[in-house]
Amino acid sequence: MPAPEEKIAEHRITTKPFYLPQGDEVEIAKTAHANQLPLLLKGPTGCGKTRFMEFLAWELKLPLVTVSCHDDLSTSDLVGRYLIKGGEAVWVDGPLTLAVRAGAICYLDEIVEARKDTTVVIHPLADDRRDLPIEKKGELLTAPPDFMLAISYNPGYQSVLKDLKQSTRQRFVALEFDYPEAELEARIVGRESGVDQATARALVRVAAMTRALKDSGLPEGASTRLLIHAGKLARSGIAIRTACRVAITGTLSDEPELLAALDEIVSSVF
Amino acid sequence: MDHSELTARLAALIEVDALNYWEIEDYVEQLAAQPTEVQEEVLRQVGVIWPVSQALCLDFLDQVQRGLNCLHHSRLGEWVNATLDVYEKDGLKQAQRFLAEVESNFLCQIRGKSGLGLTEAGGRLLPYLRGLAGRALDLASAPTTYTDSQTIFLPPEITLCKEKRENFLTYKLLASWQWGLLAAGTFSARLTPEQPLIRELIVRHGRRLSSEQPFPANFYHLFPDPELAGDLFLLVETVRITKLMRQELPGLMRDSAPILAQLRRQRPALSGLEGKNRLLEALNHWALTAAPPESAAGPNAKLYARAVELLLPLANTGGTIDDSLGITAQLYRLCERLPGGYHPEHPPILGGRLQPRAVEAIRLRRREESRQQFIKALGAMLAVEAGENAPPERHPAQRQKPSGLPDDAAAALLPPPAKGGEGEQPLKPPPAETEYITVGGREIKIPEPLRELAGEIRQDLGRIPERYISAALEQAGTAAVGGPGPDPNEGPEATGPLLYDEWDYRRGGFRKNWCTLLEKQLLPVSSPFVENTREKYRGQLRLLKRQFEMMRLQQRFVRRQKEGDEIDLDAAIEALIDIRAGHPASDNLFIRLNRDERNIAAIFLVDMSYSTEGWVSTALKEALVLMCESLQVLGDRYAIYGFSGMRRSRAELYQIKHLGEQYDRKVKGRISAIIPKDYTRMGPPIRHVSRILAASEAKIRLLITLSDGKPEDYDDYKGEYAIEDTRHALIEAKAAGIHPFCITIDREAQEYIPHMYGAVNYIFINDVKRLPLRMPEIYRALTT
């Protein structure tokens, strides 16, 4: 079993991630870190929340431990558990404990997907106590000053049942993310996928049109991530209309008429 | 078919009493001459139209001969469908006209086989358009293409090309082009006599700038020949917007090249034209394909070249609406050099002329709407505020006029400022000054929900007129006196009437807004029925409750897991024994707590038709009681609705228990109150209940129908029609993520239920007495 130092080293970010700030979010996040305040990132899927965390970790020179939450995520999955290895019970730290011990950033992605009891374990960590009780070991970890907790959620599509509890959300500094404005988004798409600026701008135009369809039956418009996918396919030689169809419109809906309309949008722009 | 058979068949389809025998005789005689397959088709269509409109059906019988003269009988259905669409949209008169003008309205167009109707194209075109515009534009059919900034009007049918795909592209091009008008701000310029161009035109032509006419009509009227000016302006705008579209929608413009070429081929030939008409047509040719017309401009080649030179910068680099106005004026001067008048005989390129009045009407309507909304919302807010604070002596007269603003009445009369294309601009946050308004002398922050509206009003009028605020204050004053808050009347609110479509399988389409559904609450009665039932099934009920309790899977320990929260002691001991004995030990040593939440919403739809009279009704009610008692234990959300009704105008849905309601005295009273009523029109209640279920937040949504027979109503809702409509309603429900299931006691159910619900989604109970106990069992099987 690797030592904790080795394990956390896997979470160090070695190359500077590409991130274009949309506003003052980097500065706010850094200030929050300096003041030992946890972060709550809100925003639609694929708009750059995770990339922002990577960038922040790089800027702060801290390891980033990311946990993608799912509805079966238990407290043990976060904190750690005993495992039996060769007749012996061995304690293994969970990602959260690992991050607390190492003074890293722990990023719980899509926190509302996790079970409600799981979210409660972060409560003492997210206020001024900054404690993580490990009940099974009878240990109380206090986070070092560098540790930072960040959670994200998408207020758009989750059901009312999966809303974040007030007692949880009222511990965080909230940063709202949205799709970047057109020019910035085009630069991001161009840079990430390697397509030229004209194509990137056109992709962004397609995305803007799909986002406008939200009231016409589309649950969510195309995210920046999808644009980058389409751009990558196009750069690798797939015809741009096909690339858009498979990477953008096909992923957005299954409804034939809406799909047809989305295809029309694509064929208008390209 | 011979004469008598035809008569009999026709008489079976239509109510013969409504006709004189000689009229029937007439129809039969006409039909008798046709081959059998034509007769069959005509009779089939009669069956489609008669239930919708008898008058229209007789008209159809009158006209069918003419229709058949130029149309293969297999296409009669399309004709009838188109007619019914007109009927449902514009009423009988229009539909009769549509039937009568069969050749010009319909047949000529569909004869080519290639035509594409707007109804067919709309499903795809509308979302496309809304995506393009970024707001909820609408589509409607009209003889010419134009827009009023809210709706884009397109021809009902396009037959320009051979292929459907190309005709759709034409629709797309026309619709996008109208969007281009809105996006480029064609309707949003504002003219004042001070502008150099306008001043020059006034001096030159000696006309005044009309304050009555909206832009751009007021611009045309600065010229001696407004028609010519209008068509020139449209031409210039076409060039400017084509450039915009090439820039924004390059793919569309590339795909549309053959369409534009086709449109150009359809333009009148230049050789037949003279003077101004010829020059303008030559320019139209040029604008469509950016290629010079074949014979250039003939005798006036020089003028033509000069005009193209004027238009080229717009075509190459684009421009603003002001550029267009300037170029229009220059083109007009060129035209003046040509002899003769201008006769706009030919339709303008790419659809119709601009309709400034329609745009103006929409803008005024929108302004009025936002005024009312604003006053209402602000008034409500102020009323709440007044209720919270000490009631201040607010009086409209006390209000302080914000400094530097003209009088509100005058301000409201000012023409609106230039507006960036009716909201086509990218959304930007409303200017900072929209955050505050001055009310009664003090600055108050505009609450969040009002801010967008306030921004809109400011964009339209430049500011929020003070009379809006004073009206809101007045409203707040009266509201505060009357006491805010909702109507204290708590009585059961019957929703409706709601309109639902009905599926006509013969037509392969919906009869639009065909049924009226009323949602009513059943009044609870005090009756010992529920208690008696509980007593009657006491033993079984205890068993049922135990079974349902076991289904509460909320927390469950799973043993022998690879990982978990606790050590499974048994497994650990076994493992130790194994190790001691020298066997390889299992590492499944943990207990895990599984929390599977039941996330189910179920609606029971109970047949309350007269056929359930007697013991069937009693069994149904008992079944409901046992179901409720069992579900009490389980905690699933469920609702109960009863349905009945008579004719399409009165489908009734009785609310017995809604999804959020507790199983209490009232619900028990309503279950006791279930009595057989009228008929079984199943489509509307299923559609309505599906809508309720679809809106509920549940992973699994169940629609369980309890019925004793086929769907049937007093009118023509019976047999195949009724079954097909019900089936379609269930398909719609499935599409909305609902699992329909049917419990029936009809012995003939095998014949139609599998077709309606699908082979596995129903159960037949042959002994009605067993229904009450079977039902909870069925539910249990369905949800585990």
**Above pLDDT 90, what percent of chain B?**
2
Cα distance between residue A39 and residue A153, in whole Å: 11
Q: Name chain A contacts of B124, Cβ cutoff 8 Å.
A: 257, 260-261, 264
B131 and A159 within 8 Å at the Cβ level: the answer is no
Q: Name chain A contacts of B133, Cβ cutoff 8 Å.
A: 212
**Nearest-neighbour CA in chain B from A39: distance (Å):** 25
**Nearest-neighbour CA in chain B from A261: distance (Å):** 5
Q: Annotate A127-169 with DSSP letters as a single string.
A: STT-EEEEGGGTEEEE--TT-EEEEEE-TTTS-GGGPPPHHHH
A213 and B131 within 8 Å at the Cβ level: the answer is yes
Please report, to the nearest 10 degrees, the dihedral formed by the alpha carbons of residues B134, B138, B139, B140 taken in order. -160
Structure letter (DSSP) for residue A194: -
Q: Is B595 helix (H, G, I), strand (E, B) or coil?
A: coil
Cα distance between residue B88 and residue B504, in whole Å: 14
Kindly list the residues of chain A whose beta carbon comes within 8 Å of any beta carbon in chain B.
74-76, 81-84, 87, 89, 115, 159-161, 181-182, 202, 205, 208-210, 212-213, 215-218, 241, 257-258, 260-262, 264-270
Q: Name chain B contacts of A209, Cβ cutoff 8 Å.
A: 131-132, 134
Residue B283 neighbours by CB under 8 Å, 6+ apart: B235, B304, B307, B308, B311, B331
**Nearest-neighbour CA in chain A from B186: distance (Å):** 21
Residue B389 is predicted with a pLDDT of 53
Choose the weakest-confidence range: B15-24, B49-58, B686-695: B15-24
B127 and A266 within 8 Å at the Cβ level: the answer is no
B131 and A212 within 8 Å at the Cβ level: the answer is yes
**Nearest-neighbour CA in chain B from A137: distance (Å):** 12
Residue A159 is predicted with a pLDDT of 44
> What are chain B's domains?
3-111 (no CATH), 115-183 (no CATH), 188-352 (no CATH), 357-482 (no CATH), 529-549+598-783 (3.40.50.410), 556-594 (no CATH)
Residue B82 is predicted with a pLDDT of 81
Sign of the four-CA dihedral B264, B266, B272, B275: negative
Contact between B690 and B719 (Cβ < 8 Å): no
* Per-residue pLDDT at A195 exceeds 90: yes
Residue B442 is predicted with a pLDDT of 65
B168: closest chain A residue by CA:
A264
Choose the weakest-confidence range: A232-236, B484-488, B546-550, B710-714: B484-488
**Nearest-neighbour CA in chain B from A122: distance (Å):** 18
**Above pLDDT 90, what percent of chain A?**
53
- Give the Cβ contact number of residue A163 at 10 Å: 13
- Domain borders along chain A are 4-176, 182-269
A212 and B697 within 8 Å at the Cβ level: the answer is no
Q: Name chain B contacts of A82, Cβ cutoff 8 Å.
A: 567
A262 and B127 within 8 Å at the Cβ level: the answer is yes
A217: closest chain B residue by CA:
B127
Distance from the first to the final alpha carbon of chain A: 53
Backbone φ and ψ for B274, nearest 5 degrees, come out as: -135, 165
Q: Name chain B contacts of A261, Cβ cutoff 8 Å.
A: 124-128, 131
Contact between A212 and B129 (Cβ < 8 Å): no
| B396-420 confidence digits (pLDDT tens) | 444 444 444 444 433 333 334 444 3
B736: closest chain A residue by CA:
A255
Residue A61 is predicted with a pLDDT of 93
Contact between A194 and B114 (Cβ < 8 Å): no
B132 and A262 within 8 Å at the Cβ level: the answer is no
Average pLDDT in the B688-717 region? 84
Highest mean pLDDT pick, B137-146, B168-177, B364-373, B550-559: B168-177
B246: closest chain A residue by CA:
A269
* Interaxial angle between packed helices B118-133 and B164-183, expressed in degrees from 0 to 180 and rounded to the nearest 10: 40
Nearest to A84 among B123, B134, B587 (CB): B587
Nearest to A83 among B127, B426, B563 (CB): B563
Residue B488 is predicted with a pLDDT of 33
Nearest to B124 among A89, A264, A268 (CB): A264
Nearest to A87 among B131, B255, B579 (CB): B579
- Of the residues B182, B256, B554, B563, the best mutation for testing chain A's interface (the one with the most A CB atoms within 10 Å of its CB) is B563
A257 and B255 within 8 Å at the Cβ level: the answer is no
Nearest to A161 among B125, B130, B697 (CB): B697
Residue B478 is predicted with a pLDDT of 54
* Per-residue pLDDT at B97 exceeds 50: yes
Average pLDDT in the B23-32 region? 80
B135 and A267 within 8 Å at the Cβ level: the answer is no
* Per-residue pLDDT at B351 exceeds 70: no
A213 and B130 within 8 Å at the Cβ level: the answer is yes
- Report the CATH architecture of A4-176: 3-Layer(aba) Sandwich (3.40)
Nearest to B127 among A115, A261, A268 (CB): A261
| B135-178 confidence digits (pLDDT tens) | 888 888 888 888 888 889 888 888 777 778 888 898 999 999 99
Cα distance between residue B712 and residue B725, in whole Å: 11
Separate counts of helices (H) and strands (E) for chain B: 31, 18
**Nearest-neighbour CA in chain A from B470: distance (Å):** 34
Average pLDDT in the A16-31 region? 92
- Give the Cβ contact number of residue B256 at 10 Å: 23
Average pLDDT in the B584-602 region? 79
Number of cross-chain residue pairs from A and B with Cβ atoms under 8 Å apart: 91
B250 and A87 within 8 Å at the Cβ level: the answer is no
* Per-residue pLDDT at B479 exceeds 50: no
B130 and A215 within 8 Å at the Cβ level: the answer is yes
A159 and B126 within 8 Å at the Cβ level: the answer is no
Cα distance between residue B233 and residue B344, in whole Å: 14
Please report, to the nearest 10 degrees, the dihedral formed by the alpha carbons of residues B397, B402, B404, B405 taken in order. -70
Residue B555 is predicted with a pLDDT of 62
Q: Annotate B412-466 with DSSP letters as a single string.
A: HHSPPPP-STTTTSPP-PPPGGGGEEEETTEEEEPPHHHHHHHHHHHHHHSS--H
Contact between B606 and B624 (Cβ < 8 Å): yes
Who has greater pLDDT, B331 or B82?
B331
When the pLDDT of each residue in chain B is averaged and rounded to a whole number, the result is 78
Q: Name chain A contacts of B592, Cβ cutoff 8 Å.
A: 74
Nearest to A268 among B133, B251, B567 (CB): B251
Highest mean pLDDT pick, A112-116, A194-198, A257-261, B157-161: A194-198
Nearest to A269 among B127, B251, B565 (CB): B251
A89: closest chain B residue by CA:
B567
Cα distance between residue B45 and residue B60, in whole Å: 9
Q: What is the 3-state secondary structure (H, E, C) of A64-92?
A: EEEEECCCCCCHHHHHEEEEEECCEEEEE
Contact between A217 and A260 (Cβ < 8 Å): no
Kindly list the residues of chain B whose beta carbon comes within 8 Å of any beta carbon in chain A.
123-128, 130-136, 172, 176, 248-252, 255, 426, 563-565, 567, 575, 579, 585, 587, 589, 592-593, 595, 697
Cα distance between residue B611 and residue B588, in whole Å: 60
Residue A206 is predicted with a pLDDT of 92
| B499-528 confidence digits (pLDDT tens) | 888 888 887 778 888 888 888 888 888 888
Cβ burial of B759 (10 Å; 0-12, 13-18, 19+) is exposed
* Interaxial angle between packed helices B683-695 and B719-735, expressed in degrees from 0 to 180 and rounded to the nearest 10: 10
Residue B386 is predicted with a pLDDT of 64
| A196-229 confidence digits (pLDDT tens) | 999 999 999 999 999 888 766 677 889 999 999 9
Nearest CA-CA partner of B311 in B272, B340, B269, B280? B280
| Six token digits for residue A50 | 């995770």
